[in-house]
């Protein structure tokens, strides 16, 4: 059997969700909202099934969704995108990440990755025979180490994979950081895979800037979005890649090999979602910001060292002030089994040695009453 897969463990999200179910814990681990996205979008998906949207759609996505992705690129970021040639719809951002990496990496190429990182990145880079070069953000502010980042690039570097807004950090790369990254990428003649699934989940006036919008980056970036995050419908697995025509054609080839197409009724519904008015997008982030504040304030009151989260639906918290004896894996297990609240150990987002082992990640995309109950359980436990 394949040695890389044999050495890949079950994803931490599945492991912790199973533990949550076993112990009837409130699951603030795996990131999924406990309220489904907009009724009209869900209704549109149901209607499309009765409207004959049940056979293979076009390989790159149904025309309505490709058009909607192109329109959203113009509306939110001023990007001019040709829906016919520059958008590829995938079965979730997960597939999109793999397809984009497949599109640019050859065996022996190097790919720069930033820790903490999402758990599919590294195994996929390795499966492609490419060599990962890891750079680490520095907590508690998740600072971007510019010199180390630049030093990670060399003659064999073909791509960088960047996640902003970040999971689990909630970090949003600033315009200055992005300008630095764009310069390094261009000097080394590389591509950038941009995981921007949390593009619309930003808080406190922090706006997401796609790396693709920077001068010289339009042809180098593959920008990935996810309907799961933007419409609180994580089970749908509809993702979309925006890239220049030549890159998009290669991403489409990868998509052809991975899944070939994505359910047509869901695509049509997501197209309706992307056309929603500004109030929808503003409401999504303001509702989440209130939940973030509720959980962050509650955890801080209980003694956690809560880190700032500017985007995504996660906060990370340092549990050392509570005096717990053990690492983050022990802590999240004890929290689940004893307090009956589940969180994710942040060390799971690291591959290199000496990962920080004193942070837990909490998902706050839950009803207020659920967050309150989780806090009450933790308070009773500590
Ligand atoms: N990238 C990041 C950073 C994520 O947090 C997620 C969420 N699961 C994904 C990609 C995958 O998104 P999707 O569910 O659309 O495959
Ligand atoms: N992206 C989600 C998270 O970080 C979960 C995705 C998954 O379960 N694979 O929690």
Instruction: Note the ligand closest to the C-alpha atom of 239.
Output: 1
Q: Cβ(92) to ligand 2 under 6 A?
A: no
Q: Which residues pair with 159 in a beta bridge?
A: 111, 191
Q: Cβ(163) to ligand 1 under 6 A?
A: yes
pLDDT tens-digit readout, 197-209: 999 999 999 999 9
Task: Using the mean position of ligand 2's atoms as its centre, give its distance from the Cα of residue 156 in Å.
Answer: 31
Residue 167 Cα: closest atom of ligand 1: 3
Q: What's the rounded Cα separation, in Å, for the pair 282 and 182?
A: 28
Q: Cβ(359) to ligand 1 under 6 A?
A: no
Residue 197 Cα: closest atom of ligand 2: 1
- The token pair at 264 is 């047509």
Task: Using the mean position of ligand 2's atoms as its centre, give its distance from the Cα of residue 97 in Å.
Answer: 14
Task: Using the mean position of ligand 2's atoms as its centre, give its distance from the Cα of residue 154 in Å.
Answer: 32
How do strand 191-195 and strand 221-226 relate by DSSP bridges?
Answer: parallel
DSSP string, 136-196: E-BTTTTB--HHHHHHT--TTEEEEEEESS-TTT-----HHHHHHHHHHHHHTT-EEEEE-
Could you read off the pLDDT tens digit of each residue along the chain, which spans 382 residues? 999 999 888 999 999 999 999 999 999 999 999 999 999 999 999 999 999 999 999 999 999 999 999 999 999 999 999 999 999 999 999 999 999 999 999 999 999 999 999 999 999 999 999 999 999 999 999 999 999 999 999 999 999 999 999 999 999 999 999 999 999 999 999 999 999 999 999 999 999 999 999 999 999 999 999 999 999 999 999 999 999 999 999 999 999 999 999 999 999 999 999 999 999 999 999 999 999 999 999 999 999 999 999 999 999 999 999 999 999 999 999 999 999 999 999 999 999 789 999 999 999 999 999 999 999 999 999 9
Task: Using the mean position of ligand 2's atoms as its centre, give its distance from the Cα of residue 120 in Å.
Answer: 10
Strand order of the β-sheet with 191-195 is: 87-90, 239-243, 221-226, 191-195, 157-163, 110-115, 131-136
Q: Cβ(167) to ligand 1 under 6 A?
A: yes
Q: Cβ(100) to ligand 1 under 6 A?
A: no
Task: Using the mean position of ligand 1's atoms as its centre, give its distance from the Cα of residue 197 in Å.
Answer: 6
Q: What's the rounded Cα separation, in Å, for the pair 140 and 150?
A: 22
SS3 for 108?
Answer: coil
CATH class of 3-30+279-381: alpha beta
Per-residue pLDDT, 352: 77
| Mutation pick for ligand 2 pocket among 9, 20, 28, 32 (CB with most ligand atoms within 8 Å) | 32
Q: Cβ(167) to ligand 2 under 6 A?
A: yes
Residue 119: C-alpha distances to residues 29, 168, 255 (Å): 14, 11, 20
The DSSP output letter for 24 is T
Instruction: Note the ligand closest to the C-alpha atom of 195.
Output: 1
**Residue whose CA is at the smallest distance from ligand 1 atom 5:** 167
Residue 168 Cα: closest atom of ligand 2: 4
Assigned CATH for 39-276: 3.40.640.10
- The token pair at 221 is 């970036």
Instruction: Note the ligand closest to the C-alpha atom of 316.
Output: 2
Per-residue pLDDT, 168: 98
Per-residue pLDDT, 161: 98
Per-residue pLDDT, 353: 84
Q: Cβ(202) to ligand 2 under 6 A?
A: no
Q: Where are the beta strands (DSSP E) in the chain?
A: 26-27, 87-90, 110-115, 131-136, 157-163, 191-195, 221-226, 239-243, 305-306, 314-318, 341-342, 344-345, 359-363
Q: What's the rounded Cα separation, in Å, for the pair 180 and 339?
A: 44
ipTM of the complex: 0.97
Q: Cβ(336) to ligand 2 under 6 A?
A: no
How do strand 191-195 and strand 157-163 relate by DSSP bridges?
Answer: parallel
Q: Where are the domains of the chain?
A: 3-30+279-381, 39-276
């Amino acid at each position: 059997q394949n040695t890389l897969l044999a050495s890949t463990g079950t994803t931490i999200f599945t492991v912790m969700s199973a533990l949550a179910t076993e112990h009837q814990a409130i699951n603030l681990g795996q990131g999924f909202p406990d309220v489904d996205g907009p009724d009209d979008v869900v209704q549109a998906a149901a209607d499309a099934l009765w409207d004959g949207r049940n056979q293979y759609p076009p390989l790159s996505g149904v025309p309505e969704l490709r058009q909607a992705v192109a329109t959203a690129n113009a509306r939110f970021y001023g990007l001019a995108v040709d829906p016919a040639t520059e958008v590829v719809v995938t079965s979730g951002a997960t597939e999109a990440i793999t397809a984009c990496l497949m599109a640019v990496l050859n065996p022996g190429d190097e790919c720069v990755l930033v820790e903490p990182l999402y758990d599919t990145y590294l195994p996929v880079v390795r499966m492609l025979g490419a060599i990962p070069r890891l750079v680490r953000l520095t907590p508690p502010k998740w600072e971007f180490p510019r010199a180390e980042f630049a030093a990670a690039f060399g003659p064999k570097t073909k791509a960088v994979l960047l996640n902003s807004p970040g999971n689990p950090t909630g970090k949003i790369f600033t315009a200055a950081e992005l300008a630095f990254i764009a310069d390094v990428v261009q000097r080394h003649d590389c591509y950038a895979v941009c995981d921007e699934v949390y593009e619309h989940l930003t808080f406190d006036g922090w706006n997401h800037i796609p790396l693709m919008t920077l001068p010289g980056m339009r042809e180098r970036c593959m920008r990935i979005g996810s309907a799961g995050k933007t419409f609180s419908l994580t089970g749908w697995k509809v993702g979309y890649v925006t890239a220049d025509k030549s890159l998009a054609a290669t991403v489409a080839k990868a998509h052809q090999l991975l899944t070939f197409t994505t359910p047509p009724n869901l695509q049509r519904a997501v197209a309706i979602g992307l056309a929603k008015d500004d109030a929808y997008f503003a409401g999504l982030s303001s509702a989440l910001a209130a939940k973030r504040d509720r959980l962050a304030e509650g955890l801080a009151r209980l003694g956690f060292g809560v880190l700032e989260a500017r985007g995504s639906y996660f906060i990370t918290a340092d549990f050392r002030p509570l005096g717990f004896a053990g690492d983050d894996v022990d802590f999240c297990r004890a929290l689940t089994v004893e307090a009956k609240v589940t969180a994710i150990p942040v060390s799971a987002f690291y591959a290199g040695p000496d990962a920080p082992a004193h942070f837990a990640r909490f998902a706050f995309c839950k009803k207020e009453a659920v967050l309150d109950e989780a806090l009450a359980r933790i308070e009773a436990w500590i």
